[in-house]
A and B are shown apart, each in its own frame.
Chain A
Amino acid sequence: MASVVKSALKAIRERGVGTFLRELKEEGYAKCLLDGNLLQTKIHNIGARLVGVDKFGNKYYERLEDTQYGRHRWIEYAEKDRYNASQVPPEWHGWLHFITDHTGDELLMLKPKRYGIEHKQNFSGEGDEYIYHSKGHALNPGKRDWTRYQPWQPTKA
């Protein structure tokens, strides 16, 4: 704890109070007060090794000593208010879940050039446009016509 206070004071001294507060806010320390998960992560981060940062700004930490085995890798999401696991891009997924020891930066080269698409987080439940409507649903824009026959049209008089 003492080291935290020490580093905080050092930062204030170097960059001034205003910058320090803004950074505090940007880094999500303000949110920590309301979000226990974030607070837990922030406490966890102390003394941990920052392994990498992905293109979305998610930070990946690892700490091998003094942690329970299996909880020694974690992520601090770039998004501070609505974060979820689908924000992890595939190249980091393996590292984060102990599937591989290669970090995402190393695995990025495996991404297929020709047909690999950009990672997109899952927006399920985030509004009508992200809700799946089945093929026959009225809200499905490409609503399918289930009529399987073609009626005779009385064209000729």
Chain B
Amino acid sequence: MGMGLLASRAMRPTASSLLNSQNPRSLFFLGRAVSSTPELQNPEQSAAAQAQPEPTPDLPPRTPVAGARVHFPKLEDAIEVFVDGYPVKIPKGMTVLQACEVAGVDIPRFCYHSRLSIAGNCRMCLVEVEKSPKPVASCAMPALPGMKIKTDTPLAKKAREGVMEFLLMNHPLDCPICDQGGECDLQDQSMAFGSDRGRFTEMKRSVVDKNLGPLVKTVMTRCIQCTRCVRFATEVAGVEDLGMLGRGSGEEIGTYVEKLMTSELSGNVIDICPVGALTSKPFAFKARNWELKGTESIDVTDAVGSNIRIDSRGPEVMRIVPRLNEDINEEWISDKTRFCYDGLKRQRLNDPMIRGADGRFKPVSWRDALAVVAEIAHQVKPEEIVGIAGQLSDAESMMALKDFLNKLGSNNVWCERNGMFADADLRSGYLMNTSIAELEKADVFLLVGTQPRVEAAMVNARIRKTVRATHAKVGYVGPPADLNYDHQHLGTGPQTLVEIAEGRHFFSSALLNAKNPVIIVGAGLFNRKDKDTIFSSVETIAKKANVVRSDWNGLNVLLLSAAQAAALDLGLVPESEKCLESAKFIYLMGSDDANLEKIPDDAFVVYQGHHGDQSVYRANVILPASAFSEKEGTYENTEGCTQQTMPAVPTVGDARDDWKIIRALSEVAGVRLPYDTIGAIRSRIKTVAPNLLHVDEREPATFSTSLKPQSTHEMSSEPFATAVENFYMTDSITRASKIMAQCSALLLKK
């Protein structure tokens, strides 16, 4: 019966077409496999199954490990293997371990990681294969047709037990003081597969700890030499610093010459390390993982919207770890995402404050603060009112801000990174239309004024993955940058773009010959006056190289901050470009990077936000708001995927959610906004940008940019500027973080 089920799962036309529609990359972990009753739909199959000479009647039905799912590029490439007598169809080239996973058997492993190359050096995944004289390391052994794999025979169990004994030989018994305790692969697997005693009575070896920088703590004596960190650093992070030094019992992981790990992804080695050799330095000895409450949320420190889990204990965010999302961050996150959390505890605004006549701030009650703001708002002319949303604002609060200012009669509201010349007319003009996951299909990249490594580390990881896998060409136009893959630096300014557009540049032939070319334009260009001209020359290149087709849209804009896409979707675009200079009443909603020097001296500035960062020093009234870890908010990432944060911890002090503050202020000001709940505000959003309600869905832009009118601006020859100067400090949270300050002091030192 089991054979019939599996066979029909692979052969049934409906199922296979469904599977084929998936990306070949998403071989695993996509979701649960299709389950159905094949006997009903496929009588001859089940009849055949019943006619099998060797039925396996007492086998319980199995579900693939972690929803592992099989994709057959070509149906004839399918082979059948038997795992514990259970037949399973897999594509050619899969390893024995993967076959076991599909069959629902979880093989213990340390060195094998599905996103890294195969090393085969821990030997934990030994299984018995019929007719093989020795146990087989399943992670490195390709499955062959008809292979009979046995995972729970005495031989396999004894082999694992022996390997475990060897691994524990030199492993210190310091679990009680080890930060990995509780989430340690070695702990778990020694419980499950290990022996209850060891025979090793000699002295254990000890290894000198390495200094890998302010983020990763090393206790190298605990290392079991799985080389996952070495492979991660080499393959994913792109910093070939780590290596396996020495041999035999003297073997150790290290850099040989002392060197810090200067990668923006270095924190991921903490997750990848199966033991406590590499742990988080800021989290060291702070909490045990079983004390923590995990909240599935979204990162807001860049525009990628990496999926994270905020681990909190009581009112405190203890750490941030990645969550699996194949389409966005796979299972990595950048160091900024992972370690910015201590910024959530510092420099917080916890009381409404009003600047007195003496220039000093005085804590006041919400009632007083709102009354003062409402009074001033009514004293100025409507066109002198300006609102700026910050980098970390969620869609709900931006909607409320825009509605509030509109009710006051002003339409001068925008999001700080989008700049004054933002164009929200065409959605494809500000989104990453290819989507992050589809970047892997590209064969030529043209990066215009963007340095993905500092602007969006996860996008950079995808580009690097593509370059590594397919040797895709990368051309880069912009200031000299340190990209961690092979690239050609084509030029520094718009002039190069014109050359490529006119076909005078050597790179234009590469673009023309490309099958799936990708052009990524940095959002740092949004602040340039000649933005439209640059975009039109990019569009000329796109048109010539056939970048935008019906089946492929390779024209992308890489945004810089989490609020940008939603702000443009909601139409947060200033009415006049000069409004800031003539403003009398400025409402800064978490905006710390607006041009403060442009604000006239007599303007009344309200700062609503969670951190005492840059703008508070200019503010007249401070309204404390909650940070992303404390509220439910909708964010749209750079590829147009809507995601929501979830509150992990309570807000500090007297702070309130952004949209609630504006709602309360509107009532005091006499222009009551018609929503009282987050549901109501979302139904208001639905009328403006319905895609912001389709959570976890990527809404592609409908119109291409070709509809845009030609720009008349003169293109300046000024070279492109660096959009993000310091990777580790980009917004109010990361600027408040001590760890980030340490990182920028140590790691950015050249």
* Residues of chain A having any CB pair with chain B under 8 Å: 146, 148-154, 156-157
Contacts and interface: CB of A to CB of B under 8 A. Distances in A.
A157 B346 contact: no
Contact of B653 (A146, A151, A154, A157): A151
Contact of A157 (B350, B360, B611): B360
Nearest first, the 9 closest Cβ-Cβ pairs linking A and B are A152-B612, A154-B361, A148-B316, A157-B359, A149-B345, A152-B347, A151-B350, A149-B348, A149-B652
Contact of B652 (A146, A151, A154): A151
Contact of A149 (B346, B353, B359, B616): B346
Contacts of B611: 152
Contact of B315 (A148, A152, A154): A148
Contacts of B316: 148
A15 B616 CA distance: 89
Interface string B342-374: 001111111101000011110000000000000
Contacts of B353: 154
B347 A156 contact: no
A148 B359 contact: no
Nearest to B617: A156
B624 to A, nearest CB: 9
Nearest to A152: B612
B314 interface: yes
A63 B692 CA distance: 87
Contact of B314 (A148, A152, A153, A157): A148
Nearest to B347: A152
17 contacts: A148-B314, A148-B315, A148-B345, A149-B344, A149-B350, A149-B652, A150-B345, A150-B346, A151-B347, A151-B349, A151-B350, A151-B652, A152-B350, A154-B360, A154-B361, A156-B617, A157-B358
Contacts of A146: 315
Nearest to B361: A154
Contact of B348 (A151, A154, A156): A151
Contacts of A150: 345-348
Given A148-B315, A150-B345, A152-B349, 13 more contacts: A149-B315, A150-B346, A150-B347, A151-B347, A151-B350, A151-B652, A152-B347, A154-B353, A154-B361, A154-B616, A156-B617, A157-B358, A157-B359
Contacts of B315: 146, 148-149
Nearest to A156: B617
Contacts of B345: 148-150
Interface residues of B, number: 22
A157 B361 CA distance: 8
Which of A149, A151, A156: most chain B CB closer than 10 A?
A149
Nearest to B315: A148
Nearest to B360: A157
Interface in B369-411: none
B439 to A, nearest CB: 38
A75 B611 CA distance: 66
A153 B362 CA distance: 11
Nearest to A150: B346
Contacts of A149: 315, 344-346, 348, 350, 652-653
A148 B653 CA distance: 11
Contacts of A154: 353, 360-361, 612, 616
A146 B612 CA distance: 21
A82 to B, nearest CB: 40
Contacts of B653: 149, 151
A146 B315 CA distance: 9
A91 B583 CA distance: 82
A84 B92 CA distance: 78
A157 B653 CA distance: 22
B740 to A, nearest CB: 15
Contacts of A157: 358-360
Nearest to A148: B316
A100 to B, nearest CB: 30
A28 to B, nearest CB: 48
A104 B441 CA distance: 81
A110 B242 CA distance: 50
Contacts of A148: 314-316, 345
A147 to B, nearest CB: 8
A151 B360 CA distance: 16
A153 B612 CA distance: 8
Contacts of A151: 347-351, 652-653
Nearest to B619: A154
A150 B610 CA distance: 12
B621 to A, nearest CB: 12
A148 B348 CA distance: 11
Contacts of B350: 149, 151-152
Contacts of A153: 612
B608 to A, nearest CB: 14
Contacts of B360: 154, 157
A153 B348 CA distance: 9
Contact of A152 (B344, B348, B358, B359): B348
Interface string B601-642: 000000000011000110000000000000000000000000
A149 B316 CA distance: 8
- Quick one: which of A148, A150, A154 has the most chain B CB within 10 A? A154
Nearest to B363: A154
Given A157-B358, A157-B359, A152 B616 contact: yes
B106 to A, nearest CB: 38
B650 to A, nearest CB: 10
A150 B349 CA distance: 9
Contacts of B351: 151
Nearest to B611: A152
A95 to B, nearest CB: 33
A136 to B, nearest CB: 12
A151 B347 CA distance: 5
A38 B611 CA distance: 69
Nearest to B627: A149
A149 B361 CA distance: 20
A153 B351 CA distance: 11
B730 to A, nearest CB: 19
A148 B316 CA distance: 6
A154 B617 CA distance: 9
A151 B361 CA distance: 13
Nearest to B359: A157
Contacts of B347: 150-152
Nearest to A157: B359
A150 B611 CA distance: 10
A150 B353 CA distance: 16
B647 to A, nearest CB: 15
A156 B350 CA distance: 17
B295 to A, nearest CB: 16
Interface string B690-716: 000000000000000000000000000
Contacts of B314: 148
Find the residue from A148, A151, A152, A156 having the highest chain B CB count within 10 A: A152
B590 to A, nearest CB: 14
Interface in B299-356: 314-316, 344-351, 353
B4 to A, nearest CB: 58
